[in-house]
């Protein structure tokens, strides 16, 4: 499916933007504009291909104010309170579930992916997130999708990039994000992010299936 890398880029890029905490009004407006544009221009194509409903996310944002977003984000993802650790940081979740050794192993592995490409973890606006924060992880998936698009356009061999997409997806997305998203969805404090996480989980499950058709599962 030739359009899939383009859809993959916009989906990962937009989800990354949503999970990047917005402090000031201008940053929030940029995010809303991006969500609305993707919903309007690609929403139908994304839903037909994957079942992911971006207009549903855009509608949910239209029903709340920035203060609602800020309160929900900080309550769920920054305070560390609640029955389960909901901070969307791979090493912190791994530490809570599997201990320090596994958390360190995962952290070193993810930073090695960034270092091989000379990538600096996502830093913008007024807030800085960890290298293994979900916003950075999804941004890296978007970067890989963009590289695949460019290689296809230039007639280059893009399978090495697809292989890296598969490896990163398996080792740093599928391994924890879906379970984490389900924890968010079941948390009674979640409203906006219940919807966002429902659609994110659907997307990851779809993308995993699609990449697995091209390449065998990389452990």
pLDDT tens-digit series, residues 145-167: 999 999 999 999 999 999 999 99
Contact 107/114 with Cβ under 8 angstroms? Answer: no
pLDDT of residue 125: 54
CATH number for the domain harbouring residue 132: 1.10.3480.10
pLDDT at 218: 41
Number of domains in the chain: 1
Task: Please check whether residue 115 lies inside any domain of the structure.
Answer: yes
Helix (H) / strand (E) containing 58: helix 54-62
Specify if 219 maps to a domain.
no
Report the alpha-carbon distance of residue 79 to residue 68 in Å, rounded.
16
Whether 96 has a pLDDT exceeding 90, the answer reads no
Per the structure, the complete domain to which residue 57 belongs is given by 4-214
Does some domain include residue 60?
A: yes
pLDDT of residue 219: 37
Query: Which residues, 6+ apart, have CB-to-CB distance to 21 below 8 Å?
Result: 73, 74, 77, 78, 127, 129
The DSSP symbol for 170 reads I
List of long-range contacts for 142-146, beta carbons under 8 Å, 24+ apart: 142/8, 142/9, 142/12, 142/13, 142/16, 143/117, 143/119, 144/168, 145/5, 145/6, 145/8, 145/9, 145/12, 146/9
The structure's pTM equals: 0.92
User: In the predicted model, is pLDDT for residue 1 greater than 60?
Assistant: no
- Which of 2-16, 51-65, 121-135 is predicted with the least confidence, judged by mean pLDDT? 121-135
With respect to residue 101, please indicate whether it lies within any of the assigned structural domains. Answer: yes
pLDDT of residue 74: 94
Q: What is the pLDDT of residue 117?
A: 85
Q: Quick one: pLDDT at residue 9?
A: 98
Q: In this structure, is residue 134 part of a structural domain?
A: yes
Of the pLDDT bands very low, low, confident and very high (cuts 50, 70, 90), residue 105 is very high
What pLDDT was estimated at residue 119? Answer: 80
Which of 174, 77, 111 is closest to 103 using CA atoms? 111
Per-residue pLDDT tens for 18-70?
Answer: 999 998 999 999 999 999 999 999 999 999 999 999 999 999 999 999 999 99
Tell me what percent of the residues of the chain surpass a pLDDT of 70: 90
| pLDDT for res 81 | 61
Residue 183 lies in a domain: yes
């Amino acid at each position: 499916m030739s359009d899939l890398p383009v859809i993959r880029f916009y989906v990962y890029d937009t989800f990354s933007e949503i999970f990047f905490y917005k402090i000031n009004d201008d940053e929030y407006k940029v995010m809303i504009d991006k969500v609305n544009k993707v919903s309007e221009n690609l929403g139908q194509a994304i839903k037909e291909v994957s079942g992911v409903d971006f207009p549903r996310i855009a509608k949910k944002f239209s029903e709340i104010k920035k203060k609602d977003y800020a309160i929900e984000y900080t309550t769920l993802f920054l305070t560390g309170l609640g029955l389960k650790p909901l901070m969307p940081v791979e090493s912190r979740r791994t530490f809570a579930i599997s201990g320090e050794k596994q958390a360190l192993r995962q952290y070193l592995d993810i930073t090695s992916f960034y270092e091989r490409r000379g990538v600096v973890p996502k830093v913008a606006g007024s807030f800085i997130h960890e290298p293994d924060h979900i916003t950075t992880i999804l941004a890296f998936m978007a970067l890989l999708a963009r590289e695949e698009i460019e290689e296809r356009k230039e007639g280059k061999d893009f399978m090495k990039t697809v292989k890296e997409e598969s490896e990163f997806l398996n080792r740093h997305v599928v391994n924890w994000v879906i379970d984490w998203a389900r924890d968010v969805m079941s948390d009674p404090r979640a409203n906006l992010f219940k919807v966002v996480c429902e659609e994110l989980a659907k997307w990851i499950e779809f993308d995993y299936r699609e990449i697995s058709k091209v390449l065998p599962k990389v452990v």
